[in-house]
Structure 1
């Protein structure tokens, strides 16, 4: 029988101790490069954790983009729950399967997979702390090529969501009810540069927490006590906080950091800046 996962982070040493045992989880390699959407899959083919499946950001961890541009849902909209349930079944994940996600980019794409599984009501999911580099440092074995796996014949069940979301209309209707935390780099938050979206700046009233600041130089997450101090320093209860970024991906890493710190209940604004800034009627702040 598979052992429960100590969510939301698992160390490379703890995961390595499971290798070759019935406690080995379904492992998702979520490595990705926004500038080269094929790079992550190519890197996966060259080396990956034992029996890992590849989770492509655009194909597997996102839904269909609107044909009218990034106004509805942003650049990386959420998949429908039915579509992601089918993806989980294809990976061989059922309701009680332990899942570990990792990437080679500091955790944002693995965090997106973690958040989506939690959104589906899946409890047994964790992110490999430090990703591929930590696994290699621990002496973990690697494989190459595709991983054959059998899909779950009965499919993945649709259950109540385990993670809250918020949309643009709700934020506009009562802007003071929610504290927004923006996960983008400080220069993008301030509106000094904007390499991806239609306008520069941020949602008025938002605060900035660059997702990479959650990590130590090693690529592992900072201590839970330090993360708790940082996020409590924003001065709002977790239930009053919503996270966003450029397209709803790196914001998941801030949500993961909060959960690692024992601060649960914050929401994700999935459309994020790519959705918000595409509508000229929505207010924008700079500096």
Structure 2
């Protein structure tokens, strides 16, 4: 998979703003302030962009187990995607955020999981679009009607039972996408227990991009070289969101079929809490 099939430049998007077959989706979000992304979108966004919220649209409500950002209900997400003009396998979706793909890659992964391949990410995100002098607006786009029908690719997602059963098998690599201090259990700002899944290797998701938000196009293959011959790669993070940045990186490196442990550490440690109570 080449970068040109997964990433588009601000210049490319600026030249395609009027393309009727393109839907732009603003995915800005802040875990610390869940209303911030919507507020930022209403203040200014790329012309024609619709807004999808990580917790309202791209996740379902939290349960006892399953992590902090369970996958959305397929029908509910399909309705939302249809309402912003996306038709399955036809509409090219361009997703962006302002967090080095942290949230836009969740939409990228979800669309592919639900069977929609034409989806790309905006290199550099909103800040770089703005810094380069491309147009922004506060005007909300007109309603468009698409027809999105989810066709779930269940092989892309695994649950805790699958991780437990497979993590120690030869040829299986479990990738922790969080920053090193969280992986090592030195700090845990969000979840109730610090640590990582035993045997996991650490590939922090922030390494995929420059601090500016532009993808390190030429470094992805080299990055995954130590595990490129693995028979199965399972990727997780805190709640199944930023792990998608690593799944994007693996695709850029030409490594396909990697799987998302959707519940991630927040799901894994929910069972550790239960064990501690016994």
TM-score, shorter chain, exceeding 0.5: yes
**CA distance in 2: counterparts of 1:231 and 1:80, whole angstroms:** 32
Q: Which runs of 5+ in 2 are unaligned?
A: none
**CA distance in 2: counterparts of 1:245 and 1:77, whole angstroms:** 13
**CA distance in 1: counterparts of 2:4 and 2:116, whole angstroms:** 13
Q: What CA deviation, in whole Å up to 9, does each residue of 1:126-150 have, x standing for no partner? A: 0101101222233321110432313
Q: What CA deviation, in whole Å up to 9, does each residue of 1:166-212 have, x standing for no partner? A: 11101112322331111111101100111111210000010111111
- Pairwise CA distance, 1:90: 1.6
The residue that corresponds to 1:76 in the other structure is: 69
The residue that corresponds to 1:185 in the other structure is: 179
Q: Of 24, 34, 37, which aligns to 2:34?
A: 37
Does residue 89 in structure 1 map to residue 82 in structure 2?
yes
* SS of aligned partner of 1:108: coil
Normalising by structure 1, report the TM-score: 0.88
Does residue 269 in structure 1 map to residue 267 in structure 2?
no
* SS of aligned partner of 1:219: coil
The structure richer in helix per residue is: 2
Moved over 3 A (4+): none
Normalising by structure 2, report the TM-score: 0.91
**CA distance in 2: counterparts of 1:47 and 1:6, whole angstroms:** 27
The residue that corresponds to 2:196 in the other structure is: 202
- Partners of 2:205 and 2:242 within 8 A in 1: yes
- Partners of 1:115 and 1:163 within 8 A in 2: no
Q: Of 162, 168, 176, which aligns to 2:168?
A: 176
- Pairwise CA distance, 1:20: 2.8
The residue that corresponds to 2:227 in the other structure is: 234
Does residue 47 in structure 1 map to residue 44 in structure 2?
yes
Distance change >3 Å, CA 190–CA 244, structure 1 → 2: same
**CA distance in 2: counterparts of 1:37 and 1:12, whole angstroms:** 26
The residue that corresponds to 1:18 in the other structure is: 16
Does residue 56 in structure 1 map to residue 50 in structure 2?
no
**CA distance in 1: counterparts of 2:247 and 2:274, whole angstroms:** 25
Calculate the aligned-residue CA RMSD, in Å.
2.0
Q: Of 215, 230, 247, which aligns to 1:255?
A: 247
**CA distance in 2: counterparts of 1:91 and 1:186, whole angstroms:** 38
Counterpart mapping for 1:103-142 below 5 A: 103-142=97-136
**CA distance in 2: counterparts of 1:20 and 1:279, whole angstroms:** 49
Q: Which runs of 5+ in 1 are unaligned?
A: none
